[in-house]
A and B are shown apart, each in its own frame.
Chain A
Amino acid sequence: MEKFVLKYFNLLRTIIAVLIGIVISVFLVYLVSKDPGFSLQQFLLGPLLSRSRFSNMVEMASPIMMCGLAIAVAFQARQFNVGAEGALYLGAAVGTAFAVSTALPAFLHIPLTLLVAAGVGAAWGMVPGLLKAKWNASELVASLMFNYVAYYLGLYLINFHFRDKKAGYLVSYQLPQSAWLEQFIPDTRMHWGILLSLALAVVVYLFLYHTTTGYEIRMTGYNEKFARFGGINVFKVVVLSQLVMGLLAGIGGMSEVMGIHRRFNWQASPGYGWDGVVVAIIGRNHPLLIIAASFFLAYLRVGGQVLNLMSDVPAEMVTVIQSIIILLITAEAFLAQWRYRITVRQAERQGAPA
């Protein structure tokens, strides 16, 4: 039993953190709601019980997952580029511009549009990488600032050049049907982009753990001096990891536009890039864990929407609950004493010194 705990400590800790978070949320709901039983049911079961809400959860998980993968690649190289939001936004804006101004058959239009968004995102992620590699400028600060630049550039592009004046509100022209990602389950908005994000998770996993470049990225993240010492081109890793970050985020934004809205309708930045940071942290930068983390965060978000819609618990409370859960998961010291005690008992039992 104790060996089991040691082996799966991080997983168990995550589960316990989630459970404690839920207990606290139950408590909070009891504080603010007149009908806490009903509210809780809406919050916890809401996302699972109706087809459309379940679909909402899956749809939401998709862009979050792609941003999480994006952030994970940068974080594995220990590059704190948080520019996923900007790369996603500008990538989708330029991709939209490309899609509405070209007429191509679907088998070209879809991949080319995604490629344009990926390219824009990659370029966007690369710039802080170059600044870091060449002049040691903090990629954290640069990428944060770049998010604003991306937002206003994207907004300008859509509102001044690709705005659909007939639409009655601030959106781009609708994408030609050849650039749509098809929704494949009736009465839901589940689209091919969701499968794309799952496939990307596997691809990123293989990239990080089974390719030479992935190895270079991880070793640089573990110990940059060691990587340099061993002959790894750290300059390349610093730039490339952030480039891949932007690339994945760009795809994430574009696939959302192509699969769900079919036009660029984000007057405010959608925030998936930030959710990406959260799921990368919860999933400890591991692509396969990020799949689970993305669904979990989407579940919380949709549960929050349902709670807000159906009960008297305000949306703000939901954010509080989500924050508590994330805080518990990310706190390194949480339950560390427990592990220490088990370690001691195990060591005592073994008898021989380690």
Chain B
Amino acid sequence: MEAILQARDILMIYPNGVVANRGVSLEVERNTIHAVVGENGAGKSTLMKILFGMLQPQEGQILLRGRRVHMRSSHEAIRLGIGMVHQHLMLAQDLTVAENMVLGVEPRWGRLFLDTRQAQQITAGVSREYGLAVPPEKKIKDLPIGVRQRVEILKALYRNAELLILDEPTSVLTPQEAEGFFNTLQELKSHGKTIIFISHKLKEVKRIADRVTVMRDARVITTRAAAELSEHDIAYLMVGREISFERLPPPRAPGETLLSVRGLTFVNEENLRVLGGVSFDVRAGEIVGLAGVEGNGQTELVRILTGLLPATSGTVAIRGQRVNGFSPRRIRQAGAAHIPEDRMEDGAAAEASVQENVIVDRYYQAGFSRGISLLWTAIARHTQELIRRFNILARSPRTPVAALSGGNIQKVVVARELSSDPEVVIASQPTRGIDVGSEEMVHNLLAEARDRGNAIFLTSADLDEILKLSNRILVIYNGELVAHFQDTTRLTGQDLGPYMLGVQKEEAVSGEVRP
């Protein structure tokens, strides 16, 4: 087979000194689906950005169709027939599909005006050619994520991309949508395209990829035919040691109700009903998982539970004490801890040090301050202890958080939240975008907290995580609970999917437990 793209001995060092790629070589054969897997921080995304001209490596060469190329920007990459679909889709929300398709290469009417009809014809044409259905006249913001992603792919194809780079394409899709996406990939392959895609999910790599490249610690470990490797082999190569895929052992019988939510509704500023009467309980010693496609009210629900957003109506109680309208601090004092969905937005202050980050919920307590003065020696000692206990890779308590990798930043957040001796833990996307090793550790910590008698409420876009950890599972769709699974032992993602998509729905679902 002929190689369409080769990278040789790439060395890439970021301005902050992080070596992202070291001696990386990659060969992608024409008309194949090539998966690049690895833990977070292994250097996959960096390599893709280099291949797409967004980053320039310090050393190394890139050969396209056997000829050496120097790409100084993504424009040049597009001109050379490379397309990229980013993890966070880069589409103009308020423009239609057709307008997004032709953005930058618009057909004109006269010299100044966009020829809308021709744009729609172009879109329909490309859509037909590749068998990927999209509605040309609809606005992006009105479409589900799966369709948006298709638009991005078509956009690249319209720009004559022969080689498509997809950065974690399935991370935002439901199992059913992912299924459609795999068909899309096959379709593209049958049109002679070459596809590189990054993934964390080993199942789909096995399912769809022809060849697999495993990266670890900024290096390529191996590239093999996918058929030669089992899921287990790939995981082993990624992490460099054995990791468990088992569901965590079931806990003891759950105890008393610690978190109790009744009839919670939320109407946002645009007068849209985001939450419509959500009720559930979480008992001591259990993990209740909330499954759902992102954007169905999970974010708002968690923000209400933690005091960051006022509910329109309904009640939240911790250990029977009503905490609606309480400040985040008082909710914490009532016994709640919160692992936020976005660690850089809510969970950490990047420029501040590790020690400054871990005391944000407790700096005013005895042991960390006396009167108005902070006890830095005690704080440093406490931080050192957390660094050791939670296995955080930080040189010292004074290291700025920005200097840590994503997985380690998440560990800082988790360390703070779980060391506050909480009764209720609200964990939102606790392992999003972190490496397999850190993920395993966070899962074990949550299971330990559960076994200590904490009540844990977990929301995640990662169904495997929900299935692995939860004792009970709730499904949310369009701000309402549509299913409640009391027994999760034989549950699969396929069972949850129809509920997540709103195809199936039970009436008047509540996650309450009756004593």
Interaction A to B:
yes
List residues of chain A with CB under 8 Å of any chain B CB: 210-213, 215, 218-219, 222-223, 225-233, 336, 339-340, 343-344, 346-348, 353-354
CB within 8 Å of A: which B37-89 residues: 58
Q: Does B328 contact A228, Cβ atoms closer than 8 Å?
A: yes
The interface-forming segment of B10-18, B278-286, B473-481 is B10-18
Q: Is the C-beta of B356 less than 8 angstroms from some C-beta in chain A?
A: yes
Q: Which 5 A-B pairs have the closest CB atoms?
A: A231-B329, A230-B360, A222-B349, A223-B349, A353-B218
Instruction: Tell yes or no: B508 within 8 A of A by CB.
Output: no
Bound together, the chains give a CA A222 to CA B345 distance in angstroms of 11
* Selected contact of A343 from candidates B16, B327, B360, CB within 8 Å: B16
| Complex alpha-carbon distance, A350 and B353, angstroms | 24
Task: Tell which of B90-98, B174-182, B265-273, B361-369 binds the partner.
Answer: B361-369
Answer whether residue B472 sits at the interface, using C-beta atoms and an 8 A cutoff: no
A57–chain B nearest beta-carbon distance, Å: 34
Q: Is B385 an interface residue (CB 8 A)?
A: no
Are A226 and B308 CB-contacts (below 8 A) given A212-B363, A212-B372, A354-B19?
A: no
Q: Which of B1-39 contact A (CB under 8 A)?
A: 11, 13, 15-19, 22
- 15 A-B residue pairs with Cβ-Cβ distance under 8 Å, sorted by A, are A210-B376, A219-B356, A222-B349, A225-B345, A226-B349, A229-B306, A229-B347, A231-B328, A233-B327, A343-B17, A344-B17, A344-B58, A347-B18, A353-B217, A354-B18
Most buried by B among A212, A226, A347: A226
B356 touches A215 (CB 8 A): yes
- B13 A229 Cβ-Cβ under 8 A: no
Which residues of B, 451-479, contact A by the 8 Å Cβ criterion?
Answer: none
Contacting pair A347 B13 (CB below 8 A) = yes
Q: Is B246 in contact with chain A by the CB < 8 A criterion?
A: no
* Complex Cα spacing A20 to B80, Å: 43
Question: Does the CB pair B363–A215 fall under 8 Å?
Answer: yes
**How far is the CB of B363 from the nearest CB of chain A, in Å?**
6
Interface of A is mostly: helix
Tell me the minimal C-beta distance from B308 to chain A in angstroms. Answer: 7
Q: Which of A226, A336, A340 contacts B346 (CB 8 A)?
A: A226
CB of B211 closer than 8 Å to a CB of A: no
Inter-chain CA distance A43–B28, complex, in Å, is 65
On whether the beta carbons of B332 and A231 are closer than 8 Å, the reply is yes
Give the number of residues in B that approach A within 8 Å (Cβ atoms).
Answer: 39
| Contact of B338 with A by CB under 8 A | yes
What is the total of A-B residue contacts with beta carbons within 8 Å? 91
Complex Cα distance A347/B18, Å?
Answer: 7
- The secondary-structure label for the interface of chain B is loop
Given contacts A223-B348, A346-B17, contact A211 B360 (CB under 8 A): no
Question: Which of the listed residues A212, A223, A229, A354 has the most CB atoms from chain B within 10 Å of its own CB?
Answer: A229
| Closest B residue by C-beta to A337 | B15
Is B441 an interface position by the 8 A CB rule?
no
Considering only CB atoms, which chain B residue lies closest to A354 in the complex? B18
Query: Which B200-228 residues have a C-beta within 8 angstroms of A?
Result: 217-219
Contacts of A211 in B (CB 8 A): 372-374
Q: Is B350 an interface residue (CB 8 A)?
A: yes
Task: List the B side residues contacting A344 at CB < 8 Å.
Answer: 13, 17, 58
Central interface residue in A344, A347, A354, by most chain B CB within 10 Å: A354
Question: What is the bound-complex CA distance between A222 and B401, given in angstroms?
Answer: 12
Mask: chain B, 298-312; 1 = CB below 8 Å from A; 0 = not:
000000001010000
Interfacial chain A residues near B345, Cβ < 8 Å: 223, 225-226
B88 to chain A, nearest CB (A): 19
On whether A218 and B352 interact (CB within 8 A), knowing A229-B328, A230-B328, A231-B332, the answer reads yes
The chain A residue with its CB closest to the CB of B11 is A348
Verify if B142 is at the interface (C-beta below 8 Å from A).
no
A230 partner residues in chain B, CB cutoff 8 A: 328, 360-361
Query: Which parts of B151-186 form the interface with A (CB within 8 Å)?
Result: none
**In whole Å, how far is A14's beta carbon from the nearest beta carbon of chain B?**
19
- Which residues of A are found within 8 Å of B218, using beta-carbon distances? 353
Distance A222 CA – B353 CA, assembled complex (angstroms)? 11
Collect the chain A residues with CB atoms within 8 Å of residue B19's CB: 347, 353-354
Contacts of B217 in A (CB 8 A): 353
> Which residue of the partner chain, among B16, B219, B306, B347, contacts A226 with CB atoms under 8 Å?
B347
**In the complex, chain A residues whose CB is within 8 Å of the CB of B332:** 231
Contact of A229 among B219, B346, B373 (CB under 8 A): B346
In the assembled complex, the CB of B49 is this many whole angstroms from the nearest CB of chain A, namely: 17
Known contacts A219-B349, A229-B340, A231-B332; 5 additional CB pairs below 8 A are A212-B373, A226-B345, A230-B361, A347-B18, A347-B19
Chain A residues near B347 (CB, 8 Å)? 226, 229
Q: Which residues of B contact A212 (CB under 8 A)?
A: 363-364, 369, 372-374
Tell me the nearest residue of chain A to B368, going by C-beta.
A212
Contact of A354 among B17, B361, B373 (CB under 8 A): B17
Please give, as numbers and ranges, the residues of chain B lying within 8 Å of A353 by CB-CB distance: 18-19, 22, 217-219
Contacts of A213 in B (CB 8 A): 372
Is B129 an interface position by the 8 A CB rule?
A: no
Of residues B17, B345, B372, B376, which shows the largest number of chain A Cβ atoms within 10 Å of its Cβ?
B17
Is B233 engaged at the interface, CB distance under 8 Å to the other chain?
no
Assuming the contacts A212-B369, A215-B374, asked whether A336 and B328 have C-beta atoms less than 8 A apart, the reply is no
Closest approach, in angstroms, between the C-beta of B368 and any C-beta of chain A?
A: 9
Contacts of B361 in A (CB 8 A): 230-231
> B380: shortest Cβ distance to chain A, in Å?
13
- Contact residues in B for A346 (Cβ distance below 8 Å): 17
A211 to B368, CA, bound (A): 11
Query: Which residues of chain A are near B58, meaning CB under 8 Å?
Result: 344
Which chain A positions have C-beta within 8 A of B13? 343-344, 347-348
A210 and B373 contacting across the interface, CB-CB below 8 Å? yes
* Chain B nearest CB, measured from A285 CB (Å): 12
Q: For the complex, is B448 an interface residue (Cβ under 8 Å from A)? A: no
Bound-state CA distance A234–B16 (Å) is: 31
Shortest B318–chain A CB gap in Å is 15
Q: Is the CB of B15 within 8 A of A336?
A: yes
Residues of A within 8 A of B338 (CB): 229
Pick the residue among A219, A336, A347, A348 that contacts B360 (CB under 8 A).
A219
Chain B residues whose C-beta falls within 8 Å of the C-beta of A228 in the assembled complex: 308, 328
CA of A308 to CA of B41, assembled, Å: 58
Assess whether B351 is interfacial by the CB under 8 Å rule. yes
B368-384 interface bits toward A, Cβ cutoff 8 Å, 1 = contact, 0 = none: 01001110100000000
How far apart are B12's CB and chain A's nearest CB, in angstroms?
Answer: 10
Q: Which residues of A contact B219 (CB under 8 A)?
A: 353
Kindly provide the distance from the CB of B38 to the nearest chain A CB, expressed in whole angstroms.
12
User: Given A212-B369, A226-B360, A229-B340: A339 and B15 within 8 A (CB)?
Assistant: yes
